[in-house]
Structure 1
Amino acid sequence: MPPLFEEIDSQSSPLGQISLRKRRMPAFGDRDIYEVKLGEEFLMSSMFVEAEEALSTLGLAAVQGDDLSVVVGGLGLGYTAVAALKDERIAELLVVDAIETVIGWHRKEQVPLGKILNEDTRNRYVLGSFFDLATDPEQGFDPDSAGKQFDAILLDIDHSPTEYLNSANASFYTTENLALMAQQLNPGGVFAMWSQNLPEAQFEALLNTVFAQVTSHVVSFYNPFQGGESTNSVYVCVKP
């Protein structure tokens, strides 16, 4: 019988100790549940992936055309990236993460979706701060092509526009810095972002200072711990 709990890896990172764990909960069936913790804070769980996947499906549904170049900010357990690669229009996907350990979990296939990402030749990992690269359009996200523009940028790093994984990220959520990121989108390109909270009117107003169209989606999913529905949000913004 597989163990009910296993810590697969734990490493120091610029943000603190980050760990990958696997557990089984017999009440939830015969499956492994993967979790990521940063210090004592739970970052993500493979039990709740609907909104991370919806970030890709909702964001890419707003993109027109084929041969798409897409950036995913935040690798996590890989669900946003794998959902994006299901769109056959994608020609290349850059997955940006600031924590080398997280990229290593996927390269070594210590997480279930690592093999899928490694075998898809459209996928490329980029080690770096999404926020630094987003606000430096002259360099941009692609280390092999300075100033390159993309068809979509999908962001899942902070907990919400007002609750940050790292307090330094707060400076990104301004008209000036969102506009710098938008320079890296092709005309009609899409910026989409996940949030753990319901849509926030103040953030929608901020997005409207940069983008021609802003739509907020509420994503519902069953939460067995609460015995009912939970919700996250996805903001989808279209560049003029």
Structure 2
Amino acid sequence: MEIPPFPKPGSLEEALALQKALAGKVVVAGSLEGVRRIAALDASHRRGKPLLAVAVLYDLERGPLFVGKGAVPEEELFPYVPGFLSFREAPAYLLALKALPEAPEALLVDGQGIAHPRGLGIASHLGVHLDLPSVGVAKSLLYGRPEGPLPQERGSAVRLLSPEDRPMGYVYRSRAEARPLYVSPGHRVGLEEALAFVRALPTRFRLPEPLRLAHLEAGRALKALD
């Protein structure tokens, strides 16, 4: 897969300016209907170790096909600053995607899409950088608030609103009584279309299966460094 160079900001001010510029390029519209091959992305890191990212090439009809991995040494990582995670993790994700034998049609990312203080979570950042449709599925809330209580039933969802009451995604319960997930469009996907796509994914546990596999692979890769 051909990967454009990823700009590494030299300061937090540069990162902020770049983030705001890229947020202006995010397109919150589009459908994933007909998409078959996606890349599910997750990363794992422990102090003193490289940051390891995994891309699972997943066929929605056949299941997992291939696993690509990428690693960035700790000393080369952008500092950990809440709201700027994509500058830290994206270089490793891009290496993992480059290792895949073919390009995916869309990205499914463990992280935020537009549900972010400046509208550019890692799913949006990667989507704009690669010009690919992308969806963020986060395990915790970064920004915004649920529109109301979330029912305990499997598949239930309520809108996730910004402080200005702008819809940014959905709080989604993938399994009955399980902790919610936070689904937001990354790039070239509409709000409702992002939720519909995640709802349609195979889900045996809390995480949709492609992301669960990526999470397991990232954990195994990190353990292998011990």
Q: TM-score under structure 2 normalisation?
A: 0.32
Larger RCO, structure (CA 8 Å, separation 6 or more): 2
Q: TM-score under structure 1 normalisation?
A: 0.30
